[in-house]
Amino acid sequence: MTTALEARITDAYDSLTPKQQALARLILDNRYFASFASAAELGAKVDASAATVVRLCQVLGYDGLPGLQEAIRAELPSYLTAVERLEQRITVLPENSELPQRVFALDVQNIQRTASAVDQTTFEAVVRSIASAQETIVVATGVTAAVGQFLAYSLEVIGLRARAILDGGVSQVVTLTHLDAADVLVGLGVWRYVRSTVAAMQQAKEQGATTIAITDSIVSPLARHADYAFEVATEGAMHSLSMAGALSLINALVAAASLVDPTRTSRALQQIDRQFIARELLTL
């Protein structure tokens, strides 16, 4: 079924300039990106000016880029419900006996896609920021909550100050009030982007903290408010999303952070071992 946007572009395409045609193709092929990007960001993809983007929108009958973006968002579902995800997969999944292998294969694919999307310069900058931070605050809710807790815990194990905020609310408000330029905030969010997590990213950035997003799109609300952003693949076999890619990314970040100051890491691990042994002996 042809959408209104597709119809407008098709009708006007032959009369468009080469740059406008390139922009039109970009918009049709990357609608999610186009629905959030600025005119300058869109133009940069095809070596066109922001003014060319605005003129294209007007030629298509919209009152500038905001009008076109509003039309895209109206046609592009922001998310599928859990039921819709399940219904889509029921028709293509193998028999139950083959399902475990399908799930494992998807997780391997998610890890590979996540790994291929990691920019080494960004990775190294994030590791340095976390390793030198006064404190790392991890904000995550919903399906990312367990992953956020794992990140905070793993950083504490290697001797770094870290804590997770998993419920938004008062605890988030109080914690963020004290953030400054010496701190790092990591926001995790996929699929349905939680307003409180996005707000945390905005506030942290305003207060000078380094902001890091782990999300499923480089143009997600979290990524757009982050100093550094990682895109993780989250394709799931049934109704739920897979966090395998996010967990692998976190493992890599923690492993690299542990090597920034090996002495500190060793000292922290030794202290944990002593506490563990002491507690175990008391229970014998």
pLDDT digits over 43-55, tens only?
A: 999 999 999 999 9
Could you list the pLDDT tens digit for every one of the 284 residues in the chain? 567 888 899 899 889 999 999 999 889 877 777 887 889 989 999 999 999 999 999 999 999 999 999 888 787 654 455 555 555 554 555 556 677 887 888 899 889 989 988 999 999 999 999 999 999 999 999 999 999 999 999 999 999 999 999 988 888 999 999 999 999 999 999 987 899 999 999 999 999 999 999 998 876 889 888 999 998 989 887 667 899 999 999 999 999 999 999 999 999 999 998 888 887 665 54
The per-residue pLDDT for 79 is 47
pTM for this entry: 0.70
3-state secondary structure the chain: CCCHHHHHHHHHHHHCCHHHHHHHHHHHHCHHHHCCCCHHHHHHHCCCCHHHHHHHHHHCCCCCHHHHHHHHHHHCCCCCCHHHHHHHHHCCCCCHHHHHHHHHHHHHHHHHHHHHHCCHHHHHHHHHHHHHCCCEEEEECHHHHHHHHHHHHHHHHCCCCEEEECCCHHHHHHHHHCCCCCCEEEEEECCCCCHHHHHHHHHHHHCCCEEEEEECCCCCHHHHCCCEEEECCCCCCCCCCCCHHHHHHHHHHHHHHHHHCHHHHHHHHHHHHHHHHHHHHHHC
CATH class of 105-276: alpha beta
Q: What is the domain partition of the chain in residue ranges?
A: 4-75, 105-276
The per-residue pLDDT for 259 is 97
Q: Note the CATH architecture for domain 4-75.
A: Orthogonal Bundle (1.10)
